[in-house]
Structure 1
Amino acid sequence: MLRYLARRLALSAAQLAVLAVLVFLLTSLLPGDAATVAFNEQATPGEIAEARHAMGLDEPLTARFAHWAGGLLTGDLGTSLVGHRPVSGILTGSLGTTLALALLTAVVLVPLATALGLLTGLREGSRTDRAVSAVTVALNAVPDFVLALFLVAVVSLRLGWLPSTWVGVDGGSWWGRPQLLVLPLTVLLARTVCLLSRQIRAGTVDAVRAGYTVQARRLGVPRRSLVLRHVLPNALVPGAQELARTGDQLLGGVLIVEAVFAIPGSATALVEAVRNRDVPTVQALTLLLAAVALLLNVAADVACRRLAPRTEVLR
């Protein structure tokens, strides 16, 4: 297991290195730069050139990449071109809310999707299975931003039940106002629960039909033990793999939700950085989100290997 984990982490590190190169090249293709955005139309070319020199934007592309990559290896994410603050400070201030939303969603997502998957998988073909499957398939077809706008228009603006925006909320003050979380968490859970529960349902159906489960039933194993010891571990294997993909979608969904509900998180910081051509902040946020996605995939692979270990071929 340790050797497998080491191989997966090494592969993820190589993928992250390739992604770092791509992110740097793509951000260098953005039209304009921080110097031109910082000045108004009245600025002279000399003033813009002086600002570009002060920001180091007139250096060759290879020199800028070497400086940036060297800083990454030492843990230095660079300095913002706009606020002249350390990028690490910007990330610390913006990622707290994003991670809190993602963790709260995961805490609700895993048990809810597992329960729905088991419920429908153990009752394959029943009215409950058909009803839940119809709802999950239909809900999965609705994009996150469409659902978010629909909930804002109906639940917030028309009915006035819940707040539609986080404007004026900063820091950790939202912890004392749980009503702010209802609509964002609903949007984040809608599609992720559908995707994950469908995979767990499929794994449950396969596990129920497997020979070992049929034999255990013939031997008189109680239903509770049959489900918990034989069906559930094998049903969770496709669920764990789907959870990694769901985690990727959850990160993207969090960014959409933050943009729609004006939540002060990573999306706000990323949009602001792109608008101001604050390249170091864009690069750091993108790489950090990619690193989280890679770690989720590694964790899912390790969980699948632990739930259903494969026989190693001796060489």
Structure 2
Amino acid sequence: MNPRASVVALVARRLALGLVLLLGVSMLIFAGTQLLPGDPAQAILGQSATPEALANLRKELGLNEPTSVRYTRWLSHAVVGDFGKALSNGQDISSALGKRLRNTLFLAGCAAMVAVPLAVFLGLVAARFRNTWVDKTLSTIGLATTALPEFFVAYVLVFLLAVKLQWFSSMSSIFEGMTFSERLDAIALPIIALTLAVMAHMMRMTRAAILNVMQSAYIETALLKGLSEFQIVVRHALPNALAPIVNVVLLNLAYLVVGVIVIEVIFVYPGMGQYLVDHVAKRDVPVVQACGLVFASIYIGLNIVADIVGIVANPRLRHPK
């Protein structure tokens, strides 16, 4: 088979698998929201609602219809970006979700711009000084930040940097009209917390990829030519180790977007995570379904991109045995 055709076939297979997976996730999201305790009609009208009013609202919301019918109607509207209206306030979910999604992507993007270069640099340093105190110190710090839960790290940052030192605000409120620098100042603590959450994994994978390439024969040739180890790492090892590094970076970007829920709640950041948690408390099922589907789409999409990058960059994945 033509190599180019083989790559296209593998990419198409990954895309088809991603769509099937997203369909399965949408079923789980819809089924899970139907199993939530309580009655949506009762939550909207309150405890004093009459049985007639509850029955009329259930009919209006389509709660009396079969689950398969409601799922098909919800999915057909969601595909075109129509998530309906929130039960709690009657607002259009798509419009509110769009604003919150932009805020979440802004936070995740800023965290990625800090975490990715820093992680790759520290991974190169760890590989350059492997098995020395520098490597062991970076590994220890990385394992410690990975082992600690995000909420614990976030609260420690708030206590140290916001309460004690008063360098940053403990609440990350942003609104229309703020300048870019004001927005960055407002989200400084969430960026630090997210960076600590994902940096260690990318750093360790960068180190492992560089050390794996350093065992190749052409590296020994470069050493015999008299090149310094730093030149070898930067000029020869890093370009050939980019495939696994890019793959792990994309996977961590997916985690950044989906994993901001806890951070957004702690810092009261107006993103999708805060929006989701607020409406879970109100048992606003359409909002919960919409947020879950958007989060799943982003996560699955970035994982597909990571797979495609791996296929294109690694010939062994294009010709599996």
- Whether the TM-score (by the shorter chain) exceeds 0.5 is yes
User: Secondary structure of the residue that 1:173 maps to in structure 2?
Assistant: coil
Q: How is 1:213-292 mapped onto 2 (pairs within 5 angstroms)?
A: 213-220=219-226, 226-292=232-298
Measured at CA, do residues 311 and 255 of structure 1 come closer, stay the same or move farther in structure 2, by a change above 3 Å? Answer: closer
76-85 or 186-195, which moves further after superposition?
76-85
179-188 or 235-244, which moves further after superposition?
235-244
Q: Which amino acid aligns with 1:289?
A: F
Candidates 173, 179, 191, aligned match of 2:178: 173
> Contact (CA 8 Å) 2:151, 2:263: kept in 1 or not?
yes
Q: CA deviation at 1:111?
A: 1.1
Hey, what's the Cα distance between the residues in 2 that align with 1:239 and 1:6?
A: 23
2:98 alignment partner in structure 1: 92
Hey, what's the Cα distance between the residues in 2 that align with 1:46 and 1:210?
A: 77
Hey, what's the Cα distance between the residues in 2 that align with 1:129 and 1:52?
A: 62
Candidates 142, 145, 162, aligned match of 1:156: 162
> Contact (CA 8 Å) 2:10, 2:318: kept in 1 or not?
no
The answer to whether the aligner puts 1:83 opposite 2:89 as a matched pair is yes
Measured at CA, do residues 172 and 17 of structure 1 come closer, stay the same or move farther in structure 2, by a change above 3 Å? Answer: farther
1:110 alignment partner in structure 2: 116
Q: CA deviation at 1:110?
A: 1.5
> Contact (CA 8 Å) 1:203, 1:235: kept in 2 or not?
yes
The answer to whether the aligner puts 1:305 opposite 2:315 as a matched pair is no
Cα deviation code 1:57-114 (max 9, x no counterpart): 2222121112112223444333322333332112112111100001111111221111
Hey, what's the Cα distance between the residues in 1 that align with 2:101 and 2:209?
A: 34
Q: CA deviation at 1:200?
A: 0.5
Q: CA deviation at 1:223?
A: 5.2
> Contact (CA 8 Å) 2:83, 2:286: kept in 1 or not?
yes
> Contact (CA 8 Å) 2:81, 2:94: kept in 1 or not?
no
Q: CA deviation at 1:42?
A: 1.8
The answer to whether the aligner puts 1:49 opposite 2:62 as a matched pair is no
User: Secondary structure of the residue that 1:83 maps to in structure 2?
Assistant: coil
Q: CA deviation at 1:312?
A: 4.9
Cα deviation code 1:248-303 (max 9, x no counterpart): 43234311111001011101211122122222221121111111111211222222
Unaligned runs of 5+ in 1: none
Hey, what's the Cα distance between the residues in 2 that align with 1:228 and 1:306?
A: 22
295-304 or 70-79, which moves further after superposition?
70-79
The answer to whether the aligner puts 1:59 opposite 2:48 as a matched pair is no
Q: What is the TM-score of this pair, normalised by structure 2?
A: 0.89
**Stretches of 4+ aligned residues off by more than 4 angstroms:** 219-225, 311-314
Hey, what's the Cα distance between the residues in 2 that align with 1:63 and 1:220?
A: 71
> Contact (CA 8 Å) 2:310, 2:317: kept in 1 or not?
no
> Contact (CA 8 Å) 2:311, 2:317: kept in 1 or not?
no
Hey, what's the Cα distance between the residues in 2 that align with 1:57 and 1:288?
A: 23
> Contact (CA 8 Å) 1:122, 1:208: kept in 2 or not?
no
Q: Which amino acid aligns with 2:176?
A: G
Measured at CA, do residues 132 and 172 of structure 1 come closer, stay the same or move farther in structure 2, by a change above 3 Å? Answer: farther
Hey, what's the Cα distance between the residues in 1 that align with 2:228 and 2:166?
A: 50
Candidates 210, 215, 218, aligned match of 1:204: 210
User: Secondary structure of the residue that 2:187 maps to in structure 1?
Assistant: helix
Hey, what's the Cα distance between the residues in 2 that align with 1:190 and 1:218?
A: 39
1:293 alignment partner in structure 2: 299
Q: Which amino acid aligns with 1:191?
A: A
Hey, what's the Cα distance between the residues in 2 that align with 1:118 and 1:133?
A: 12
Q: CA deviation at 1:155?
A: 1.9
Q: Which amino acid aligns with 2:83?
A: L
1:69 alignment partner in structure 2: 75
Cα deviation code 1:5-28 (max 9, x no counterpart): 222111111100111111111111
Q: CA deviation at 1:225?
A: 5.7
Q: What is the TM-score of this pair, normalised by structure 1?
A: 0.91
